[in-house]
Amino acid sequence: MRVKGVVRTLAATLGFAIAGSLLTGCSMDGSETVRFTFSKREAISFMTDLVAEYNASQEDVTVELDTSGVDVVSASFVRGNPPDLMLANYNMEVSRFIERCALSDLSSTQAADSIRPDLQPYMDQYGHCEGRTSALPYSIMAASVIYNKKVFAEHDLDVPRTWSELVAVCETLKGSGVTPFYATFKDDWTVGQGWFDYAIGGSLDVIDFFERLESEGDEVGPNSTTSFQKDFAESLEKIVELGNSYTNVDAASRGYGDGNLAFAKGQAAMYLQGPWAFSEIAKTDPDLELGTFPLPMTEDPTDLSVRVNVDLAAMIPEGSQHKDAARDFLEYLFQPEIIQQYNESQLGFIPTKDAPDPSDPRIAGMIPYYNDSKIYQGPSVLIPKTIPVFNYAQSIMLGADTESVLSTLDADWSRLAFRQPARSSESEEPAK
């Protein structure tokens, strides 16, 4: 099941609708105008400079940068005035555009030829339009356990590669008066993207699980062969054990900001966060020597893998009136030196063939896993947002009965599958 989101209200976007209509057609100097939507707020400065460089490099196309956000983009599809090019987070919010073939085919671009083929299954998890390459990954963000190298060295600890080795590391640290993990259970998203996703991704094949779950349709539940309760319970019980025994005593009242500050001050040896936390940690201690490793959940070291998400993907809507001009800028974005420069600035992994590894030593521990396709997309991002999976994950870590919560998740999934209408046409536009 790939469940489409519901298009949000247009009332708040009326001003943008007027502004968007002024950006189509030709610019004052006669060049063709391309409206380019970019969704990563942390990199707006970088992309602003890049757009200016592109515009100055030629006279045929003028790119207008739009950073108004995903809600406005969704509304623009409904109005029949989508952006000409999107560089956006690839998730459930854009899946309805893909499934309904509202995005043009990019398979003939040079950029498409440059993409690593092993990444396609992760793109397809959000849906596909038969015979089309609807989106091209631009930046892959990888996340795993962050650890304090100095603390590990002081206690003569190696990076654990199995569950029993992880428990042994935690016991050593705890016995020495060091908190093994700093947990921030107050913020549900930190539980979902970290504790929940790492536990499941380190235990089973996420792609296989969701394919099996889809085949169950609306029959997911106590009698189905595949279900959240049957497949997730054991792993989550183990991660609850980790959370109960080896975290800060005030984890239930600590949030993301608290965690970054505490970890920067050396109050724990490990932290289940992504590389986005590095810049926050560095505000307190820019010289802290950090590393990363995948959370081991089994006794087999070959099961190790890291959580990834397609942080940015490039898409050109079918409704664009400037597809050729948009493709020109897309090809510019995928030039090796530019895509490398962008990913280096954001601690991302480059999705193209033969791309160099990231140079930042803090994420070096994830490089061999990414290069060997030992990766998974977190199950929390593959569950439609109408199901409050972050809340469910948080409740489990705070003491709720695991099997009961997962049974509720099964019921939610089944109800959503039952309500999901069959797609009648591959060329159908997003629902209004």
Buried-state track 324-333, b at ≥16 Cβ within 10 A, e below 16: ebbbbbbebb
Digit-coded pLDDT (tens) for 88-99? 999 887 788 888
How far apart are alpha carbons 366 and 294 in whole angstroms?
7
- Residue pair 209/226 in contact (Cβ under 8 Å)? The answer is yes
Radius of gyration of the chain (CA): 22
* Per-residue pLDDT tens digits for 167-196: 999 999 999 999 999 999 999 999 999 999
| pLDDT classification of 418: cutoffs 50, 70, 90 | confident
Same domain, 43 and 61: yes
Q: What separation in angstroms does the CA of 317 have from each of 25, 103, 110, 134, 168?
A: 16, 4, 18, 9, 52
Q: Is residue 354 over pLDDT 50?
A: yes
336-342 mean pLDDT: 98
Structural domain contains residue 372? no
- 387 and 238 share a domain? yes
What is the band of 263 on the pLDDT scale with cuts at 50, 70, 90?
very high
**Quick check: helix, strand or coil at residue 142?**
strand
Domain that holds residue 90: 11-139+309-355
Contacts of 382 (CB under 8 A, 6+ apart): 92, 125, 126, 206, 210
pLDDT value, residue 78: 58
Average the pLDDT over 346-367 and give the result. Answer: 97
Taking a C-beta distance cutoff of 8 angstroms, is the pair 311, 139 a contact?
Answer: yes
Residues 104 and 216 in one domain: no
**Same structural domain for residues 128 and 268?**
no
10 close to 17: Cβ distance less than 8 angstroms: yes
Which DSSP helix (H) or strand (E) runs through 126? Answer: none
Last residue of a domain, one of 318, 339, 355: 355
Residue 11 has pLDDT above 80, yes or no: no
Q: Kindly state the average pLDDT of the residues 228-244.
A: 98
Counting other chains too, the contacts that 228-232 makes at CB distance below 8 Å and 24 or more residues apart are 228/406, 228/409, 228/410, 228/413, 229/403, 229/406, 229/407, 229/409, 229/410, 231/204, 232/200, 232/379, 232/406
- Number of Cβ within 10 Å of residue 100's Cβ equals 22
* Per-residue pLDDT at 44 exceeds 70: yes
Q: Is position 294 within any domain?
A: yes
Q: Compute the distance between CA of residue 354 and CA of residue 336 in angstroms, rounded to an integer.
A: 10
The answer to whether 113 and 137 have CB atoms below 8 angstroms apart is no
Work out the pLDDT band at 228, boundaries 50, 70, 90.
very high
Q: Both 348 and 412 in a single domain?
A: no
Mapped onto helix, strand or coil, the DSSP state of residue 35 is: strand
Does 426 map to a domain? no
Tell me the mean pLDDT in the region 106-135.
Answer: 95
Q: For residues 322 and 390, state if they share a domain.
A: no
Which pLDDT band holds residue 39 (cuts at 50, 70, 90)? confident
pLDDT for 420 equals 66
- Specify the CATH number for the domain of residue 213: 3.40.190.10
In 3D space, the residue among 109, 121, 309 whose CA is nearest the CA of residue 210 turns out to be: 121
Indicate whether 111 and 196 sit together in one domain: no
- Number of separate domains in the chain: 2
Higher pLDDT, 34 or 72: 34
Q: Which DSSP category does 291 fall into?
A: E
Q: Please check whether residue 150 lies inside any domain of the structure.
A: yes
Q: Are residues 407 and 265 in the same domain?
A: yes
Give domain status of residue 297, yes or no: yes
Mean pLDDT for 202-220 is: 96
Q: What is the pTM of this model?
A: 0.87
Residue 329 domain-assigned (yes or no): yes
Domain presence at residue 173:
yes
Same domain membership, residue 244 and residue 171: yes
The reply to whether 324 and 390 lie within a common domain is: no
Question: In this structure, are 300 and 315 located in the same domain?
Answer: no
Q: Are 429 and 102 in contact (CB under 8 A)?
A: yes
pLDDT of the residue at 424: 38
Q: For residues 24 and 131, state if they share a domain.
A: yes
**Is 235 a residue whose pLDDT tops 90?**
yes
Q: What is the pLDDT of residues 287-332, one digit of tens each?
A: 999 999 999 999 999 999 999 999 999 999 999 999 999 999 999 9
- Across residues 53-79, what is the average pLDDT? 82
430 in any annotated domain = no
Is residue 1 very low, low, confident or very high in pLDDT (cuts 50, 70, 90)? very low
Cα three-residue angle 303-305-306, rounded to 5 degrees: 160
Q: 125 and 309 in contact (C-beta within 8 Å)? A: no
Which has more confidence, 11 or 344? 344
